[in-house]
Structure 1
Amino acid sequence: MRKKSLIIMSLVLIVGIVSAVLINRYIVSKKYYTEEYRPQFHFSPEKNWMNDPNGMVYYEGEYHLFYQHNPHGTEWGPMYWGHAISKDMIEWEHRPIALEPDELGTIFSGSAVVDWNDTSGFFDGGHGLVAIFTHNGEGQKQSIAYSKDKGRTWEKYEGNPVIPSDPDIRDFRDPKVLWHDKTEKWVMALAAGKKIMFYGSDNLIDWEFLSEFGEGAGAQGGVWECPDLFELPIDGDPNNTKWVLQVDIGDGAIAGGSGAQYFIGEFDGTSFVSDDNPEDINWLDYGADFYAAQSFSDIPSEDGRRIMIAWMNNWLYANRIPTEEWRGAASFPRVIELKTSKKGDIKVFQKPIKELDTITKTELFKIENQVVKASDIPNILEDVEADVFQLTAEIVMEEPVNFGFKVRKSEEEGEETVIGYSHSEQELFVKRTQSDDDYFSPYFNGRHTVSIEDENIIKIHILVDKSSIEVFAQNGEFVITDLIFPSGKSKGLEFYVENGEVLINSLEIKSLQSIWKKGMFSIF
């Protein structure tokens, strides 16, 4: 009898435990990636802090995104490499932390490559992944680690660091490594103060100094960080190419605080020579929240794309944005191209990756060839509500006029973000404000602009998520990326015209579905 009672009690206990687990996991799954401000189609960590993308590499059918991560809190702290994997750069699988601090220091930013020919000797004549990163301890030095199992586990090189710290250079970090075909060697671009130092290697282990670039060039308002270096065809012609050196600056960017600039020129495997005058500045993005931009290594040649992701944040307020469980997100992946502008100069153009179409959900609004006047009432978008969507439009100005879109709008909450074109100023702008309830920084409110001169047709592609907006204008020649933090109730849209009329050649709004699946959790 006693044995039977014990069996019954045990069964009751097991049922209770399983029920509790199921209920807990149901609650967690219902909440998964649905917190206030949580991005729905941008990558963000499950919890805690994220900043710079690192080690972005494509290998055997998988895109690897590593990132600066503090697993112990929601503010910047001791840095690890977080890790996620994707088949399409849309849906991401969270992986365990890849690299942890050790006796040499914490794990700062860096890159990863496929060592196809086993130049390092780590892969027994095969191939695998090598990560190159900055150890931040007593000084900053460069180290490597390698993976033989497609990035699932990593072993640090026992001879680290491979480039020791330089006592004369305080900021000596963020190695970006690539294979240079013509000289058949590895090249590293390394941020050092307000310049880039280049190193070369035959085996990813032994490095020699090659040259440096940047003294007095471009934007010098803050320390240089997170360089990237790659060659691109001009206007799609593989026989006509230029090199792009992308460099971030920690302060003094176009919209205030941190931001990304680039140089176009020649690189012969040893030194970079810019085509620009030293005083010229090319901004990669004119918004406040596009920083530490990095492109994927080893995307197959048949794909032919150079794809970049950045950290959507700004060091002026990064530790204070009003999120709770997590802090930090990545920009939506962009294709980077070199094209000839209408003015005849060569510039970087950007556009969202085509895989965006796979999460396009519902057509919310569409019109063509419609004249809209300033006096028109009601607003043509009065009946449209959306908080996660893309908007594409082509607007013709037949007279000087100001016009634009108001998104994430609510009369009740007194909120809106404005994306507009001012003909009088000949500029595209994003104007954002923070609500009184969520005020967190004196640097956040503002109007971020880019000059678009002598145009009577404005082409625009806007991506709106729960807490961000990315604006691609004139086929991607100009881009503005900004964080926004509206109330969940703010879903209204408006198209406005001031003092005149415009012709809307086309306007289409489509909702985007979440990339984060509910019910992802198993019982055990």
Structure 2
Amino acid sequence: MFKCSTLKLFPCIALAFLLAVFSVRGNVLAYESFNLNSNQDILIEDFESEDYGEWQVEGEAFGSGPAQGALPGQMEVGGFRGDRLANSYHGGDDSKGTLTSAKFEVKRPYISFLIGGGGYEGETCINLLSGGEVVRTAEGTNTQSGGSEQLMWDSWNVKKLHGKMVQIQIVDSRTGGWGHINIDHIIQSTKARRVVHDKQREFEFSSKYLNFPVKNGAAKRWISLFIDGEKVREFDIEIAPEDPDFWVYLDVSEFAGKTGSLQIDRCSTEWEMGFDAVYQADSFPGQDNLYQEKRRPQFHFTSRRGWMNDTNGMVYHDGKYHLFYQHNPYGWKWGNMTWGHAVSTDLLHWDEWGDAIHPDQMGTIFSGSAVVDHNNTSGFQTGSGEPLVAFYTSAGNNGQWSRGEPFTQSAAYSYDGGRSFTKYEGNPIIGEIAGGTRDPKVFWHDPTNKWVMVLWIKEDIFSLFTSDDLKNWQRRSDIPGFFECPEMFELPVDGDPARSKWVVYGASGDYKLGDFNGTEFAAETEKIKYEYGNCFYASQTFNNVPKSDGRRIQMGWGRGIKMTDMPFNQMILFPVRLTLHSTDDGVRMFANPVREIANLHNQHWRSSEKLVRPGENPLSDISGELFHIKAVIEPRGADKIEFIIRDTAVSYDSSAQQLSCNGKSAPADLENGKLTLELLVDRMSIEIFAQNGRIYMPMGVDLTGGPKSLGFSSEGGNAFIESLDVYSLNSIWLSE
């Protein structure tokens, strides 16, 4: 019992409170009350040095120092802080080792750390040692194939160890799959930093979109959407803990008026944004700047948001060209394969309708094709409209719902011109054949009155199947020599239908010519090189183009054209018309930009019958971003002629008769002493066509940082311009 005067009342009250804290809460929490810096974390180790310093290293698994992300043979590692982390994948999953820290005093109620890798208790783990004994432990999250090399927060409650001297031990004593551990940013903290599993949020859907913040390189998380207890969407996403690089959206308009439950598999308690920042609205962040972004191609199709690759399901129907494509709606990188969808009436201006076919229990949605079933052979038609029928690969082991399931072939149909699709209840229409069998291309064969499917089976084998009803398929024969993304069609030679040849090609575009009787393809040539650029892959041609048009129109993926710092990635190459022509080397397939390009022409500069001497530039007065250039040139005495497109050279070596650009080259023999060139110049590409389409060289190149000038030069002698037409082009997205 003690006494206080009135003047000393406040200090006495404070002292009484502190005594109560000691008696009720114990020494650990009382210590926190006295520690003026108790809200500050204490760093134990961030692994940012080139070596492990005072840490004791045993075995080979951790190497001689921290890793800078993923090690050779390892999947991408994310979620760590800074540039380095402790990673026991040195030498792969079969190496073993430990890291043991120096002793330190416990001064905070929690020890927190970022952890990933194998989830094997006691074998791929981090331990807290006190007196040489394990008093706390945690392991990674992965034990099955697949998984993610993303680090997430975890914490130990160490209040009872306050004031004791302890050590951290990181252990890898396991071999085989996920036989490694990843650790970073070990701290003493005043609050726990943990992973919350299967957190849910409820939404009453009254708007068009759910908007998600994305940070490239953040930990990938699995998001699921449930409607009336049924899972209707699932995808992974690099959800931003803070400062998103961009926002993506999930279109929920089909669920209007319903209540949905959005679930994330794991999230950190320390995130400021992430899952809690998801919101619904009738617009998405960045929509006001849509198609005006710095690296947005202006006459090549790109998706509003996310990654895109292979063209799929290309078909003409009811006045519209339908372009489907492999799409990750939720990230800048490949993943979550879904069929995106855009339509055009002129092959130039594209209206993105949104995602058409979504992943399901059978897997993600890989590449395929689409047809119009004019005669309702499938029986899918119930009204007056002809059904659109899409064929795709259900990639079973690429989706969270069905890991380990096989690759099979499936169908979906649309009654409303492609606005919505219903998956065939009898899927799969073709079961598992080999591990990765995929990419069904389907077309109608008039002479046999049957549907034909070309399917990549494995290695270098395509197989031909036939069907009467688009549901039941019989395997007929094989075509060797091609890898994935099959295409097959008939073309007249030199415009003469009586001399037609069948063309077969795979993802690279290199093709064979031959004859097809409805069940077997008889090749008449070896594989012939199609294109010479740096970005062409996985193209497809439109089915059902009207006979009155008669064109075979191809569009391919502009592979590797990275849209750095953009909310979208990759693009589709400009549509080309394919034709067969007789040459000195035999029949060859030519590619030329479709004639509709002329509808984008704006300003026009023309030069003809002009001699160009070394040092002269007849294009010096022209500048801009988007161009269509057509030229017929005689090199004459010039050793080299060259177009300079915003600092990027398109060159022709007269003696070698070789065309080149950015390290790629193609043989281009002069015809009657002349070189014919056609160039399509966009912000992220230059597509080169030479000798009237005999040479096709699509080049991905970022032109956004260079000058807007054009140049033409002659070296070593004079060149003669027979004709040179330069057209500036209007954007397909923005009105002038």
Band of TM-score, shorter chain: 0.7 to 0.9
Secondary structure of 1:357 counterpart: helix
Deviation (angstroms), 1:30: 5.5
Contact 2:606 2:726 in 1 (8 A): yes
* CA displacement at 1:358 relative to structure 2: 1.1
2:380 aligns with one of 111, 122, 127: 122
Tell me how far 1:345 sits from its aligned partner: 0.9
Equivalent pair of 1:232/1:243 in contact (CA under 8 Å): yes
Match of 1:262 in 2: 511
**Aligned partners of 2:295 and 2:563 also within 8 Å:** no
Separation (CA, whole Å) in 2 of partners of 1:204 and 1:323: 43
Partner of 1:443: none
After superposition, the C-alpha distances for 1:223-275 in whole angstroms (9 at most, x for unaligned) are x1111110011111122100011211xxxxxxxxxx32111111111111111
2:732 corresponds to 1:509 = no
Q: How many residue pairs get matched?
A: 444
Within 5 A, what are the aligned runs for 1:168-317?
169-193=434-458, 194-214=460-480, 217=481, 224-248=483-507, 259-277=508-526, 281-314=527-560
Q: Is the 8 A contact 2:601 2:729 kept in 1?
A: yes
Give how far 1:47 is off.
1.0
For residues 436-491 of structure 1, the C-alpha deviation after alignment (integer angstroms, 9 at most, x for no partner) is: xxxxxxxxxxx111112354200000000010110011000101001111334521
| Residues in 1 aligned to 2:286 and 2:412: alpha-carbon distance in whole angstroms | 35
8 Å CA contact 2:668, 2:690 repeated in 1: no
In structure 2, what is the Cα distance between the partners aligned to 1:125 and 1:269?
A: 31
1: distance between equivalents of 2:305 and 2:519? 41
Does structure 1 residue 389 correspond to structure 2 residue 627? Answer: yes
Compared CA separation, residues 148 and 25, structure 1 to 2 (3 A): closer
Pair 1:401-2:639 in alignment? yes
Match of 1:506, as an amino acid? S
- Aligned sequence identity (%): 40
1:68-467 alignment, distance < 5 Å: 68-124=326-382, 126=384, 127-137=386-396, 138-166=405-433, 169-193=434-458, 194-214=460-480, 217=481, 224-248=483-507, 259-277=508-526, 281-314=527-560, 321-341=563-583, 343=584, 345-363=586-604, 365-374=605-614, 376-377=615-616, 379-399=617-637, 401-408=639-646, 416-431=647-662, 447-453=663-669, 455=671, 456-467=673-684
Give CA-to-partner distance per residue, 1:97-137, whole Å, 9 cap, x none: 10000010000000000000000000037521000000000
- Paired with 2:343 and 2:679, the residues of 1 have a C-alpha distance of 26
**Counterpart AA for 2:347:** M
Give secondary structure in 1 for the equivalent of 2:509: strand
Matched, 1:36 2:294: yes
Other-structure match for 2:76: none
CA deviation after TM superposition for structure 1 residue 401, in Å: 2.2
Give, in angstroms, the shift of residue 191 of structure 1.
1.1
Pair 1:102–1:388, CA change in 2 (3 A): same
Contact residue 373 and residue 500 of structure 1 kept, 8 A: yes
Q: Deviations over 1:141-197 (max 9, x none)?
A: 10000001111110000010000012xx22311100000111110000111221111
Could you tell me how far apart the structure 2 residues matched to 1:227 and 1:25 are? 38
2-structure distance, mates of 1:207, 1:136: 19
After superposition, the CA RMSD in angstroms is 1.9
SS in 2 for 1:282: coil
Could you say which structure has the larger radius of gyration?
Answer: 2
Question: Taking structure 1 as reference, are residues 195 and 464 closer, same or farther at Cα in structure 2, changes over 3 Å only?
Answer: same
In 2 relative to 1, CA 321–31 (structure 1 residues): closer, same or farther, beyond 3 Å?
A: closer
Q: Which residue of 2 aligns with 1:256?
A: none
Whether 2:710 is the aligned partner of 1:493: answer yes
Change (3 A) 1:144 1:516: same
**1:386-417 CA distances to partner (integer Å, 9 max, x unpaired)?**
21111110001334621110101xxxxxxx21
Which amino acid in structure 1 is aligned with residue 499 of structure 2?
N
Indicate the residue corresponding to 1:3 in structure 2: none
Cα 1:384–1:517 change in 2 (3 A) is closer
- Match for 1:361: what amino acid? N
The answer to whether the 8 A contact 2:613-2:719 is kept is yes
SS at 1:479 equivalent: strand
Bigger RCO (CA 8 Å, 6+ sep): 1
CA distance in 2, matches of 1:50, 1:182: 36
2:125 match: none
Counterpart CA distance in 1 for 2:554 and 2:666 is: 21
Q: Which runs of 5+ in 1 are unaligned?
A: 1-23, 249-258, 409-415, 432-446, 520-524
Secondary structure of 2:321's partner? strand
Residue 134 of structure 1 aligns with an amino acid whose one-letter code is T
Residue identity opposite 1:189 in structure 2 = V
C-alpha distance in 2 between matches for 1:266 and 1:130 = 27
User: What residue identity is the alignment partner of 1:372?
Assistant: V
Query: Residues 36 and 488 of structure 1 are in contact (CA less than 8 Å); yes or no, is this contact kept in structure 2?
Result: no
* Cα distance, 1:507–1:76 mapped onto 2, change above 3 Å: same
Mapped to 1, the partners of 2:363 and 2:285 lie a distance apart of 38
The 5-angstrom pairing of residues 475-486 of structure 1 reads 475-486=692-703
**Counterpart of 1:13?**
none
Counterpart residue type for residue 328 of structure 1: Q
Tell me, yes or no, if the aligned pair for 2:638 and 2:714 is still in contact at 8 Å.
no
Q: Unaligned regions of 5+ residues in structure 2, if any?
A: 1-281, 397-404
Q: How far apart, in 1, do the equivalents of 2:286 and 2:383 lie?
A: 45
Contact 2:635/2:641 (8 A) holds in 1: no
Change (3 A) 1:454 1:396: closer
CA contact (8 A) 1:120 1:204 kept: yes
Deviates more, 1:157-166 or 1:25-34: 25-34
Q: Secondary structure at the match of 2:354?
A: strand
Amino acid at match of 1:143: S
Deviation of 1:41 after TM superposition, in Å, equals 0.5
Moved more, 350-359 or 117-126: 117-126
Q: Is the 8 A contact 1:48 1:73 kept in 2?
A: yes
8 Å CA contact 1:117, 1:125 repeated in 2: no
Amino acid at match of 2:556: A
